[in-house]
Structure 1
């Protein structure tokens, strides 16, 4: 693959997984995939999208996968077509997703996603509006985690939408730096697509790369879907935390899982 600016690499990964002949992405969806804002030229000039000459490199994200820009509605959407595929047109790509580390520009979308997940899930620790995170707080946390390399958030973008994430919470103490707690959440609109499995496997890759050899997870005893996920990926049950969480005025136990690499 020809070199391009780092911020366009997630977009290139997205096109690598596309199998559809023709589809349209909004500007917001493209920026969701990238984790970065598009430059002003992308809003002002159709030529920015259709150029294929140096010194620009952004177009390699789709050209290297044999996709070409066929239509641009400035500031709104871009239509891509693949010369190698039978031309089957649709408004959206089909079942195309990527996972990537969270970026500072994702802070607002991440907060919104969390609030929706808090409202949907009966198993989480927080209720809606309880955390009151700010964009500045999230951006600072991202910056701190990148320095420590013990914690991270991996975002899943499905057809240009924020679908879910996995969070790895590590330790800075030298004797426990090899351990991280893993949490996974998938939006209801993107359930039963295998994304939780994808995110957990990506979390394991990140852990290995960053010197973490033990992952831990706490799962409420009633969360059968999560139990199936951790069992499927060969996590071990280590015990039960009695009355670990209180949901609707009822105490609920948690099962402790772990995996050692």
Structure 2
């Protein structure tokens, strides 16, 4: 498996990966809701890649994209030390350590550029993800009550964070 920065040429395959990950029910997009075109995805990759304090990595195995992690860095002086994370792994590749490797890659990147706080939100019912984040040193900071509606029912999310120094 290879962890590498995403490239604009990955746009179409990455879009398909996201659609597959959305089917898990644990992402912000509902299954079938993502309606970007490959060109719009390419532009989004280009935009994120050009931001000084943001990064996008993909996990590639057997020439397929198996997962991703994105870090969106703060843009203001007061939050430049922090980045918000989004992580997803294709269900066929789960349990192989891909999420851990992606997270370690982002931790290394954050340390290199001086980010000292990483944060994310995770659906409370996604116990596997919560345990992964806790294993990686993230702590629950709070709970967003009824922050999402999933299948017509309110769902809660955890705010989680990790301080790097």
What CA distance in whole angstroms lies between the structure 2 residues aligned with 1:186 and 1:251? 24
CA deviations on 1:183-242 (whole Å, 9 max, x unpaired) are: 111111101111111111111112222222110011111111011111111112111110
Instruction: Report the aligned-residue RMSD.
Output: 1.4
1:83-162 paired onto structure 2 within 5 Å: 97-119=1-23, 121-162=24-65
**Is this contact kept in 1: 2:25–2:31, CA < 8 A?**
no
Q: Which runs of 5+ in 1 are unaligned?
A: 1-96
Number of residue equivalences: 164
Moved over 4 A (4+): none
What CA distance in whole angstroms lies between the structure 2 residues aligned with 1:125 and 1:220? 9
- SS class of match (1:246): strand
Name which structure has the greater RCO, CA cutoff 8 Å, separation 6+: 2
What CA distance in whole angstroms lies between the structure 1 residues aligned with 2:125 and 2:158? 10
| Structure number, greater radius of gyration | 1
CA deviations on 1:93-127 (whole Å, 9 max, x unpaired) are: xxxx01001001001100111111112x1211112
Q: Does 1:238 align with 2:146?
A: no
Aligned residue in 2 for 1:216:
119
Q: Which runs of 5+ in 2 are unaligned?
A: none
**Is this contact kept in 2: 1:153–1:165, CA < 8 A?**
yes
**Is this contact kept in 2: 1:148–1:172, CA < 8 A?**
no
TM-score, reference length from structure 2: 0.92
Q: Does 1:258 align with 2:161?
A: yes
